[in-house]
Amino acid sequence: MRMQGKVALITGGAAGIGKATAQRFAEEGATVVICDLNAAAGEQTAAELGPNARFYPVDVTDRQAVQAWVNDVQARYGRIDVLINNAGIVRDHQLVRVKEGEPLRMMSEADFDLVIAVNLKGVFNCTQAVAPAMIEQGSGSIVSASSVVGLDGNFGQTNYVATKAGVIGMTKVWARELGRYGIRVNAIAPGFIGTDILASMPEKVLAGLAAHTPLRRMGEPREVANAYLFLASDEASFVSGAVLRVDGGLVVGT
């Protein structure tokens, strides 16, 4: 029961890695508060987790909605111990796609801006909202989702890579700024994880992803959730500013 008595906020907690993380935290005794845009899935997940779980429909790009969420959680439970910045999206395109010397398509400005808003500004919004509560109580743990592509880059993911590299940068800044208040800030960098997004890909593509991973398989959402749990728990009490790869030994592009 490593999270007994702790209140944990998890963004993007209705499905996939977020849901697996909510389940692991609940198993370890946490009061779990998830947010997501998918209200139906969020309510179902909270119901499955039991009486110590609660769902809020929140768009992490909306600063006022995020602040209202955090304020309500603090008023209801009296503290916020953990923030898991898990919410994220992809809108993959090449910077410029060329055929026979002629540009066919470019990554749209709208797709670039949307991914930046959710994956990068959303992390900023949520972290800035919870920081005063954690400072006041003199403790807290913030863990954000980066990615191996934020470390190594990846073909066709200019916008996504920019956000995940940015999360790493912000993590290191916040670890320095907030450490004096007893707040630890870390990030995880998952590789290819078997979520619903990947499940929709052709079998040949999935086999290729597994072949590029030295452990010769994709990760499971629960394995990423375990990394979140470790970094959020007191077992990682002297870990801050770190980026933990959860990737089966993957080096992107090899």
Return per-residue pLDDT of the chain as tens, 254 residues: 999 999 999 999 999 999 999 999 999 999 999 999 999 999 999 999 999 999 999 999 999 999 999 999 999 999 999 999 999 999 989 999 988 788 788 999 999 999 999 999 999 999 999 999 999 999 999 999 999 999 988 888 999 999 999 999 999 999 999 999 999 999 999 998 887 766 666 787 778 778 888 888 888 999 999 999 999 999 999 999 999 999 998 865 54
The pLDDT value given to residue 254: 46
Helix and strand numbers (H, E) in the chain are 10, 9
**Those residues with Cβ within 8 angstroms of residue 170's Cβ, 6 or more apart along the chain or in another chain:** 120, 123, 124, 127, 144
pTM, 2 dp: 0.94
DSSP-derived secondary structure for 119-135: IIIHHHHHHHHHHHHHH
The pLDDT value given to residue 253: 54
**Those residues with Cβ within 8 angstroms of residue 211's Cβ, 6 or more apart along the chain or in another chain:** none
Query: Which of 197, 201, 185, 204 is CA-nearest to residue 139?
Result: 185
- CA–chain centroid gap for 154, Å, is 18
Query: Do 14 and 42 touch, CB atoms closer than 8 A?
Result: yes
Query: How many Cα atoms sit within 13 Å of 12 on the Cβ side?
Result: 19
The pLDDT value given to residue 212: 80
Residue 77 annotated in active site: no
Hey, where are the domains in the chain? 7-246
The domain 7-246 is placed in CATH, from the list 3.40.630.30, 3.40.50.2300, 2.40.30.10, 3.40.50.720, at 3.40.50.720
Pair of tokens at residue 44: 């179902």
Pair of tokens at residue 82: 């953990």
Signed CA dihedral, 122, 123, 128, 130: sign only: positive
Query: Which of 218, 118, 135, 120 is CA-nearest to residue 177?
Result: 135
Other CB atoms within 10 Å distance of the CB of residue 93:
16
Catalytic residue among 56, 77, 160, 228: 160
Q: How far apart are CA 136 and CA 187, in angstroms?
A: 23
Query: Do 168 and 85 touch, CB atoms closer than 8 A?
Result: no
Query: 3-state DSSP call for residue 190?
Result: strand
Query: Do 189 and 243 touch, CB atoms closer than 8 A?
Result: yes
Query: Which of 52, 61, 49, 51 is CA-nearest to residue 19?
Result: 49
